[in-house]
Amino acid sequence: MIRSIAVPVLPGVSPFELGVLCDVFGIDRSEQGLPTYDFRVCGMRPGEPLPTKTGFDLVPKYGFDAMDDADVIAMSAGTVRHEYPEELLVAMRAGVERGALVISMCSGAFALGAAGLLDGRACTTHWMYADDLQRAYPKTRVDPDVLYVCDGPVWTSAGTAAGIDLCLHLVRERQGTAVARAIARRMVMPPQRSGGQKQYIETPIPLRGSPTLEPLLTWMVAHLDQQMTVPLLAERAHMSARTFARRFQAETGTTPHDWMTAQRVLLARQLLEGSDLTVDAISVRAGFGNAAALRHHFGIRVGTTPQAYRETFRVSQRSA
């Protein structure tokens, strides 16, 4: 059961992620028969204006001591810091020790890491920050591909809208599917999204930085619909197959097959977003040969199906 949610905010807080927490937990929906929550936005100095990331101030009503008995402590996203207020870190650690749930939205995971709450746990954050989070807190295991991670009493979400997924999952786990669906309906959101962060990551085709193989890589990208074997590619590069495989690994950091597969998936993504070709036609154009092979590799590398990806990103283009 969730009764109270405390949301600590710092200068540079991101309004969207804070707004997600406000929308899910801070709005009185009792007229629908839905639960209400004791919702507390907490600052170091309650009553004093605090600057957000987008040029306006907010005024927290509560101090950090309002976290002391909250069922959920939700760290919103904001400016990533090298240091966080000790009072905040102590309150989050104490929350876990007394059985509260501590969650983070997007870059809020860095505050959880500073409190030591990610040590030995899996977590996530926005894919743009994933490497930085892993370097800053090497005892954690950062998964940049998922929308959220629940590891014991510490839950983390990926970027921006993934915070909605985490909040609805929390409601679903603690108060049931019916409550989560009703809140999602009010927010005009699906109660549970499929796929993960991988479908939102822009994957460039690396052509530069390969002094020996750059002409061949350029040719490969232009002919992804053709069948390519290591012997044929080696012959085109005027090398033995063994030398070619070794040089390819050294210059690209991966194998020829893995590199080609990644570029074929990227081409398929571009065609799904920007063309009306069928999935079967795209599978041929991208060099997979058939839709089953495309779905297999697409699922592994993007974390969703080609059709679901198209529905998401074609809609985004039309409404942009």
Distances (CA, A) of 18 to 7, 43, 79: 8, 13, 13
Residue 39 pLDDT:
98
Is the pLDDT reported for residue 315 higher than 80?
Answer: no
Residue 208 pLDDT:
46
- Write down the catalytic residue from 22, 42, 106, 150: 106
Q: How many CB atoms lie within 10 A of CB 147?
A: 23
Contacts by residues 64-67 (CB-CB < 8 Å, ≥ 24 positions apart): 64/8, 64/88, 64/91, 65/91, 66/6, 66/40, 66/42, 67/6, 67/8, 67/40, 67/42, 67/91, 67/92, 67/95
Q: In this structure, are residues 195 and 304 in contact, taking their beta carbons and an 8 Å threshold?
A: yes
What value does the mean pLDDT take over residues 270-292?
92
Amino acid at position 218, single letter = T
pLDDT tens per residue, range 36-65: 999 999 999 999 999 999 999 999 999 999
Is the pLDDT reported for residue 259 higher than 80?
Answer: yes
Bridge partners, residue 63, by sequence? 43
CB neighbour burial string for 255-283, b if at least 16 within 10 angstroms, e if fewer: ebeebbbbbbbbbbbebbeeeeeebeebb
pLDDT, greater one: 319 or 220: 220
Kindly report the backbone phi and psi dihedral angles of residue 235, in degrees, each rounded to the nearest multiple of 5, phi listed first. Answer: -65, -40
Q: In this structure, are residues 24 and 168 in contact, taking their beta carbons and an 8 Å threshold?
A: yes
The predicted model scores a pTM of 0.66
What value does the mean pLDDT take over residues 246-252?
86
Residue 100 pLDDT:
97
pLDDT tens per residue, range 59-101: 999 999 999 999 999 999 999 998 999 999 999 999 999 999 9
Rounded to 5 degrees, what angle do the CA atoms 243, 248, 251 make?
120
| Domains of the chain with CATH codes | 4-198 (3.40.50.880), 214-319 (1.10.10.60)
Is 106 a known active-site residue?
A: yes
Helix (H) or strand (E) holding 285: helix 279-285
Q: How many CB atoms lie within 10 A of CB 64?
A: 20
Say which range, 11-25, 83-97, 152-166, has the weakest mean pLDDT: 152-166
pLDDT tens per residue, range 100-136: 999 999 999 999 999 999 999 999 999 899 999 999 9
pLDDT tens per residue, range 207-235: 545 567 888 888 898 899 998 999 999 99
